[in-house]
Structure 1
Amino acid sequence: MRSPELQRGRGATVNATSKRFALPAREADGDWLDAREELDGGAPPLRTTVTSEAARTIITRNQSPDIGFDRSINPYRGCEHGCIYCFARPSHAYLDLSPGLDFETRLFAKPNAPDLLRAELKKPGYVVRPIAFGTNTDPYQPIERDWRLTRACIAVLAETRHPLTITTKSDRVVRDIDLLAPMAADGLATVVVSVTTLDSTIARTLEPRVPHPKRRLTAIRALADAGIPAYVSLAPVIPHITDHEMEAILETAAEHGASGAFFLPVRLPNEVAPLFRAWLDEHHPDRAAKVMATIQSIRGGRDNDPDFFARMRGQGPWADLLRTRFRIACRRHGLGHIKPDLRCDLFKAPSGPQLSLF
């Protein structure tokens, strides 16, 4: 039976406030609003709201030894895609908001992101390394259609000939082929498109506001045809939910022009674990215990293994089997590893509003 609290078109089934940072959870105030669901006959639909945020910096530095980039840009906080497994959900707890439905519906945009990026690239001594988009929240989530902050940041990088990588679950990335294709021709851009399932029924609950898998595969083809190195990401692979599709996804991605592939066993850090468990109980109660038991076997007996390197690979027979299957399928379909070798020697710092004398 469908839970009365379940929001159609949203991923999380609950909206509990995190207490990890000692932030206060909302308590009933005795007002009639606390009984509105009972009075109205169900939960009202949640609308997406976007708050403008005056960011102080835009390039986030990363020192994790198991991640292949040292800097990233996130024009948005929160993500309307609603992927239940998203490891970025706990970041909303810093804002005194829930990693559950708040993460999907109460979003923040950084309209000064392009200006901040330009200012950082102008700093004396700036050292060029590829900038990664899509490492936290999706740069092409639905609000990018109107805010266009990802495109504006890419335009700055195109102007300065700065290398970038993009990871997204949206076919909206093809809108920016006009910027990305010339950059790719100079060895400055690659795109990774995430495809976790080919089953539209699973996708509707697993990642409810992500474009259909067929549209993402079509995006891979469009990127490849434009000369942009396009890869497919199977991140995450969820045991007993999507793992059986690994070979089919890789075969289909190769047929659509993908150059390489990457996969990651599902991770459930911090507040993501209880959200994922609630999602399993709602949508897959027949196998919830089996799914969690297998995940824990991959994660050393825990819901999540936060240790560097281990968190990306997993451990035990299940993890070994996934790696073996992935390696065989990639070899069969001619897919290499995602190791973009981007040029860093073409960078030209922005000149600013004043024209150069020479």
Structure 2
Amino acid sequence: MAVVPSPFKPRKPKDNGQHRGKEQLPVERAIEHCRVIVDGKALPEDFSPAAAQDYVEELGRGFVWVGMREPDSHQMTDLAAEFGIHELIVEDAVVAHQRPKLERYDDQLFIVARSINYRDHDEVDDKRQIISTGEVQMIMGHGFIITIRHAAKLPDLAQVAAGDTQMFALGPAAAAWKVLDILVDRYAEISELLAVEVDELEEMVFTPGSTFEIDRIYMFKREILEMRHAVAPLSAALKAMIANHKDMIPKKIRSYLRDVHDHELLVKDQVSSFDERLSALIDASVAKVTMQQNADMRTISAVVGMWAAPTLVAGIYGMNFDVMPELHWAFGYPMSILLMVLVVAALFLWFKKNKWI
């Protein structure tokens, strides 16, 4: 099938000075692989983008799969000229930091999804690195797909194609489905790890007499919120891929995308529940800390009260008056000490009965 070029000419991105004065790197430096998929199988050798298109056009079937890593504006513009990519897609692909979405420009689809990576909180110095996100963009047209990753980790997608030839024989949409499936499966794995962490936090907070760090709860609250922002918007993009664009996405691929969407919705609900549970934990923690502070203040007040009684007795008998009862009594000192002990003992028993100490 011949590649139909887009009628739009790539627009040169605005010069913001980022690459001014720097050597412009060739597009090949940003390309991780450029493979030709024929009858669901990836040919073993790498092609240049132009050679790959020529090969597919001459063969009359198959598609080109280009994988890129963080291209700059010059590299992306060069590749866009080869495949006739819409100018707005070029700009978004370079800027990155897009929310998950699906956009169509004539005969091209631009798909954005977020990748998520999880590291145990004991393994990182900066607690903001527990959950880190990246971005995966896909530009899909008739006869080609370009995957672009920004700070995202993906397996060797060209090798992934060799494991499912029947699906990849359906065209570029199969590659888009596989990328989304890998990302959503990773969402589910991280969701299970976070479930363990949230369970531990709940046990720590609600166990009587336990000590806990409320900062850890706030930390996971912030990280789960970041994951929620990465996962939740993808649902709308998957719905659009399933319901629309039937001329570019075969029926079988749409069926598999429904399965991906189901898994994504499950993760989305789990992350939302984590957020709600952590909010409840924060409220419970604040209440528990307040109760503990009140208990501590009562204990301190009781101790101060017990020390105040002997001080009162000693203060009275320490006054410098010549005429005072028991002042010259032989048993005055031991009786005053005994009085102090009895008063303190009585106060201790009363505070103990009222659970102040």
The structure where helix makes up a greater share of residues is 2
Which TM-score bucket, shorter chain as reference?
A: under 0.3
Normalising by structure 1, report the TM-score.
0.26
Q: Determine which structure has greater relative contact order: mean sequence separation of CA pairs < 8 Å that are 6+ residues apart, divided by chain length.
A: 1
